[in-house]
Amino acid sequence: MRIGIDLGGTKIEAIAIDGATELLRRRVSAPRGDYAATITAVRDLVASIERELGATCTVGIGIPGALSTLTGLVKNANSTWLIGQALDRDLERALGRPLRITNDANCFALSEATDGAAQGARTVFGAILGTGTGGGIVVDGRVLEGRHRIAGEWGHNPLPWPQDGERPGPACYCGRMGCIETFLSGPGLSATYTAITGRHTEAAEIATLADAGEPGANDALAVYETQLARALASIINVLDPDVIVLGGGVSNISRLYARVPPLLKPFVFSDSADTPIVAAHHGDSSGVRGAAWLWP
Ligand SMILES: [Zn+2]
C-alpha cells in the first residue's frame, strides 16, 4: 500500500491507496511558518494512517518547490519556511524509511498521466494555473525531473510573442518582468480584468461575469486565452506532448478548452497543431494521488 502526501502552504493532505483503490484520506492545517512542526505533522499523519490500516506503507511526498541538486536543500518554495531545509533527510529520519519527494506540479502531472485525463498518453505536460503557474512533465509514466529538478517550470519564462501592452510586463517575485506566471496565474487574470475595466474581482468570478454577458470579463478572458495559447505553443515547440492537462483554480473556466486550441496554430512550428488540452480528472486530489504514485 502507498501513502501520498501533498505538503501545501495551507494544508497537508494524505491519501492511502491500494492498487487504484483509495483506502482513506486525511487533511490537517499546515503549521505555517514552523518547519519543525511541519515535520511532526507529516510524521503523525503517516503514523495515524498506518495504525488504522495495520500496515507499513511506501510514502511519496509532493512539495511546493524542489530539492536543489547543488545543496540538497529545498528551493523555489512559496511555503518559504521550507526553503533551505533538508526536508528529505529530516522526513526520512522522522519516518524511519526512504521517501520519494518531488515538486507538487510533477505529482499533478503523474496523477493525471497514471489514471486521469492523460491516461495512456506517452508524453504529458501538466500545467497548474492557480495562485502561481507551475508545470510538470511525465514521459512513459515517469516524472521527468531534469538536471536541476526544474523540468516543466514554465511559469518564470517570459510570456512568448508579447504584444505591445504586454511589454515589459508586470514585475514578478522572482526578480524578472513579464513572467508567464504574472499573466496566467489567477492573480494575473484578475490584473488583466482590472486593467480593462478599472475594477477588481477574483479570477473565479470573472468566468461567471463573462457568462452573464459582462463585456469587460469577456475581453479579459479573450486576452487570457491568447496568452495561454502562446505560452502553451512554446511548450509544444520544445516538448511536443501528446496531451496537455490543466489544473488549478483557473482551469475550472470551461470555455478555455474550446477557445484555446484553435489559437495554437500560428505559433506552433508545424503544419498542424491539434494537441489536446484537457481538464484534470482528479482536480485538487491530483497532488496527493501523484505523490502516492511516486513509488511503482
Ligand atoms: Zn518570475
240-286 per-position pLDDT tens digit: 999 999 999 999 999 999 999 999 999 999 999 999 999 999 988 89
Show the cell assigned to 201. Answer: 474581482
Which pLDDT does position 20 carry in this prediction?
81
Which pLDDT does position 255 carry in this prediction?
96
Which pLDDT does position 150 carry in this prediction?
95
More confident residue, 19 or 281: 281
Distance 176 CA to ligand 1 centre (A): 5
pTM: 0.94
**pLDDT band for position 151 (cuts 50, 70, 90):** very high
How far is it, in rounded angstroms, from Cα 123 to Cα 243? 7
Tell me the percentage of the chain whose pLDDT exceeds 70.
Answer: 100
Distance 155 CA to ligand 1 centre (A): 7
Which pLDDT does position 228 carry in this prediction?
98
Distance 272 CA to ligand 1 centre (A): 31
Distance 178 CA to ligand 1 centre (A): 7
Asked if pLDDT for residue 234 goes beyond 90, the answer is yes
Q: 193-214 pLDDT, tens per residue?
A: 999 999 999 999 999 999 999 9
Which pLDDT does position 296 carry in this prediction?
84
Distance 179 CA to ligand 1 centre (A): 5
Distance 162 CA to ligand 1 centre (A): 15
